[in-house]
Chains A and B, each alone.
Chain A
Amino acid sequence: MSKFTESVVSEIKKDYIQKLLSQGSRLDGRGADEYRKIEIINNFVPRACGSALVKIGNTQVLVGVKIEPGEPFPDTPDTGVLSTNAELVPLASPTFEAGPPGEEAIELARVVDRGIRESKAVDLEKLIIKPGEQVWIVFVDIHVLDYDGNLFDASALGSIVALKNSIVPASKFNLGDDFPLPIVHYPSTVTFAKIGGNIVVDPNLDEENIAQARITVTTDELGHVHAIQKGLDGTFKIEEIKNTISMGMRIGNKLRNEYIIKGD
């Protein structure tokens, strides 16, 4: 089937999900502000500098971090470089096609990157090798393995956990001893979907397929907001945006304490 026929949503399912939501429940019995079961396997790819396999329900995303010496950007000669990429590989869903990243993969990577970059999670100023000439480049590569909704949160969670446990392999390049990647902030990302008039957190695939709009909110441990992305082509009311931002902060905190800051 083509990408389009594969993603046709049955009207019956659509109606049923909306009916349940109007009664305050979801297909899998979750509340509107509840996540599916989250499981994180740290250091899944030991040969990478850092890595994390994140499962949220049936969604599985593997994030790998590679750190290598390279040239700084000309306008920031004294800071390290952060580069984030996402691959929606075809094995993860019948709707993903092989090829260079499409707009969905690019949006995913840029939103995850924004949260890490704007929160200054990675202390890029500590990643100078030779000022103006050589710095550490931190590559964050998001590899989606199984798509059942909410790639944003799985990818963002995998990214910060992988970064937090990454080691800069300086010895490999004869640039001194290995040292832990300096992480000073812990951004946490929460995604909401709007279905009918209802807003639910952590949409699964069925919910995502019928959602009119989506919003992703990234906040840090100080209560600052660092990234917001409204997705899809439907609309939000002003009140709804304000609510999701404060819910995003509250739920984001919970996620951060349970999965990001907690010791491994």
Chain B
Amino acid sequence: MEKIREIVLPGEEIILGENKPGNGIYVENGKAYVEYLGVKSIKSGYVNIIPLSGRYQPQKGDKVIGKIVDIMSSNWVVDINAPYLAPLHVNDTPWKVDFGDTSKYLNVGDTILAKVMSVNEVKQVWLTLKEPGLRKLQGGHIITVSPTKVPRIIGKDGSMIKILKEMTNSKIYVGQNGIIWVEGTTESILKVVGAIRLIEREAHIIGLTDRVKEYLSKSKKENDVE
């Protein structure tokens, strides 16, 4: 059975019961309270608050899509829609980059599919491109969604993203940070973008999967875009 849950706000008290306080919960005088706007979730004995808004909070191992916003002699600076810009060091790429040659490989404005290699206690991030599949992205289109909607766009076990890819015959990478890259024909890109905006708007309404399928099977002329 699916459980229905309500949103919680900063300062609201959380009854832990036998559970321990997880993400988004602070303890004061033995009582637990919510830190940020979100939804309560209980998993493996921990109570966590899943955020409903806010910038991307990086986790080790996340695949993210970022934009190069600055270049230094041995690293690039990447915007991943998080509180901090993320450095990408030449040693964490598959290339042999000579000192000062960084712009030959990646330039300001380029887009990369990268992985979060590590996150320290104050949430500063280090990225890597040194894994198969990670690379500079070219062509296609980029859209941004709230990182909090990413799980819905991917769906349980990737079910939703599978529908999007198959019904439009397009390539889609969804970064955990809410940046999404789509490649395909102009028409299929438009459809994917429209479907993603639909998911964003109606994520909370039952029957989403069916509505997305219905949307994707209509012709281009019948749909609103972006």
Say if the two chains contact directly (CB < 8 Å): yes
A interface with B by C-beta (< 8 Å): 1, 5, 8-16, 19-20, 23, 25, 27-29
Whether the Cβ atoms of A19 and B186 lie closer than 8 Å is yes
Which chain A residues border B70 with CB–CB below 8 Å? 5
Q: Does B30 contact A (CB under 8 A)?
A: no
Whether the Cβ atoms of B141 and A1 lie closer than 8 Å is no
Whether the Cβ atoms of B137 and A12 lie closer than 8 Å is yes
Task: Tell me the smallest distance from the CB of B184 to a CB of chain A, in Å.
Answer: 12
Write the chain A residue with the least CB distance to B66. Answer: A10
Whether the Cβ atoms of A12 and B224 lie closer than 8 Å is no
Which chain B residues border A10 with CB–CB below 8 Å? 67, 109-111, 142
With A5-B70, A5-B79 in contact, is A11–B140 under 8 Å at CB? Answer: no
Task: Tell me the smallest distance from the CB of A51 to a CB of chain B, in Å.
Answer: 31
- Complex CA distance for A174 and B87, rounded to whole angstroms: 65
Q: A13 is contacted by which of B69, B85, B141, B225 (Cβ under 8 Å)?
A: B141
Listed A/B pairs (9) with beta-carbon separation below 8 Å:
A1-B69, A8-B109, A11-B107, A12-B137, A12-B141, A14-B109, A16-B140, A27-B225, A29-B225
- Complex CA distance for A114 and B133, rounded to whole angstroms: 55
Task: Tell me the smallest distance from the CB of B189 to a CB of chain A, in Å.
Answer: 8
- Complex CA distance for A9 and B67, rounded to whole angstroms: 9
B interface with A by C-beta (< 8 Å): 67-70, 77, 79, 85, 107-111, 137-142, 181, 186, 189-190, 224-226
Task: Tell me the smallest distance from the CB of B83 to a CB of chain A, in Å.
Answer: 10
- Complex CA distance for A8 and B69, rounded to whole angstroms: 6
Whether the Cβ atoms of A11 and B225 lie closer than 8 Å is no
Which chain A residues border B137 with CB–CB below 8 Å? 12
Whether the Cβ atoms of B109 and A11 lie closer than 8 Å is yes
With A23-B186, A27-B226 in contact, is A15–B139 under 8 Å at CB? Answer: yes
Write the chain B residue with the least CB distance to A17. Answer: B141
- Complex CA distance for A25 and B85, rounded to whole angstroms: 34
- Complex CA distance for A15 and B69, rounded to whole angstroms: 17
Whether the Cβ atoms of B69 and A5 lie closer than 8 Å is yes
- Complex CA distance for A10 and B181, rounded to whole angstroms: 12
- Complex CA distance for A13 and B68, rounded to whole angstroms: 13
Whether the Cβ atoms of A1 and B79 lie closer than 8 Å is yes
Which chain A residues border B111 with CB–CB below 8 Å? 10-12
Whether the Cβ atoms of A1 and B85 lie closer than 8 Å is yes
- Complex CA distance for A10 and B139, rounded to whole angstroms: 11
Whether the Cβ atoms of B77 and A5 lie closer than 8 Å is yes
* A-B CB proximity, top 10 nearest: A5-B69, A29-B225, A16-B141, A11-B109, A28-B226, A8-B69, A12-B142, A12-B111, A10-B67, A10-B111
Write the chain B residue with the least CB distance to A19. Answer: B186
Write the chain B residue with the least CB distance to A20. Answer: B186
Task: Tell me the smallest distance from the CB of B50 to a CB of chain A, in Å.
Answer: 26
Known: A12-B138, A20-B186. 10 other contacts (CB 8 A): A1-B69, A1-B79, A8-B68, A8-B69, A8-B79, A10-B67, A11-B109, A12-B142, A19-B186, A29-B224
Whether the Cβ atoms of A29 and B226 lie closer than 8 Å is yes
